[in-house]
Amino acid sequence: MNTHSESFELKARLELALSASEKARSLILKYYQSPDLKVDRKSDDSPVTIADRGAEELLREEIIRAFPEDSILGEELPPVEGTNEFKWILDPIDGTKPFTQGVPLFGTLMGLEENGKLVLGVCRFPALDEVVYAIKGSGAWWKIRDLEPRQAKVSEKSQLSESVFCTTTMTRWEKIGKQKAYEDLCRNSYLARGWGDCYGHMLVATGRADVMVDPVLSPWDAAALVPILEEAGGHWIDFDGNPSIYTGNGMAVNAALKDEVLRIISQ
């Protein structure tokens, strides 16, 4: 595929992802803060709702209608094997626990692999009416409500003592034997907060936080994040410093703090 054709292919899929995630937003908000919302438990005891399942069904339908040859991997439904080099990786509601608690810090994630490399990411926050998105080589962008998109950039803070550190939940650090690393990051940061899930990662991408670490996650939690963080001038990496979504952990961090945070994590 030549560069012009490749650019067209990615831009067309970005338009699809922005449109489909906006449609999913409307579906999700029908259930958000509803007193009648029923919460089920999956085999791993994580919560799932009709909004999760319905949003993923909608996203899949939109993808299949526009790009029937693309593969799809999602959190809630079986994978779809396509016939070309593109694979969508979907999380209809990243942060189902905040969603079920009526807290607005949850997002819809759509990542795209091309020949195994992540090249596109969209992270939409239905209750906040914000979206952050990127395709490789075109920068990362942050759109709030009806305002014009602004370029998303990570911070330039180089000292952890001046930085905001986020994570999703403390108990996951204990499960993987990294309690000391968690305590060191909390102790040495200017501010430590539990602004978790994809919201914490997008705080880093937009320069509002500097480090966000998830000690336990799945590929669909991370696929959309990699291109966004990279295009915003930062990094999305696992605990070994690699941009992999398949090793079960990961972090968003600006360029200046990456080595220090990795050193703390590796203890």
Confidence check: pLDDT of 44 > 90 = no
Judged by DSSP in three states, 142 sits in strand
CATH 3.40.50.720 fits 160-265, yes or no: no
| Residue 234: predicted pLDDT | 98
Confirm whether residue 238 is marked as ligand binding.
no
Residue 1 pLDDT grade (very low, low, confident, very high; cuts 50, 70, 90):
very low
| Residue 104: predicted pLDDT | 98
| Residue 80: predicted pLDDT | 97
- Residue 219: CA atoms inside 13 Å, Cβ hemisphere, count? 18
Range(s) for CATH 3.30.540.10 in the chain?
3-151
Q: Which CATH number fits domain 3-151: 3.30.540.10, 3.90.550.10, 3.40.50.970, 3.40.50.720?
A: 3.30.540.10
The 10s digit of each residue's pLDDT in 76-113 is: 999 999 999 999 999 999 999 999 999 999 999 999 99
* CB-CB contact of 81 with 88 (8 Å): no
Which amino acid, one-letter code, is at 7? S
Confirm whether residue 221 is marked as ligand binding.
yes
Confidence check: pLDDT of 4 > 60 = no
Confirm whether residue 52 is marked as ligand binding.
no
Confirm whether residue 237 is marked as ligand binding.
no
The 10s digit of each residue's pLDDT in 178-220 is: 999 999 999 999 999 999 999 999 999 999 999 999 999 999 9
**CA pair distance 64, 66, nearest whole angstrom:** 6
Residue with the two structure tokens 């922005």: 18
Range(s) for CATH 3.40.190.80 in the chain?
160-265
Q: Residue 13: name the closest of 80, 95, 92, 84 by CA.
A: 84
Confirm whether residue 75 is marked as ligand binding.
yes
Pinpoint the alpha helices (H) of the chain. 3-31, 50-66, 96-100, 170-175, 179-188, 197-205, 219-222, 225-231, 258-265
**CA pair distance 228, 208, nearest whole angstrom:** 15
Please indicate whether residue 7 or residue 59 has the higher confidence score (pLDDT).
59
Mean local confidence (pLDDT), 55-77: 98
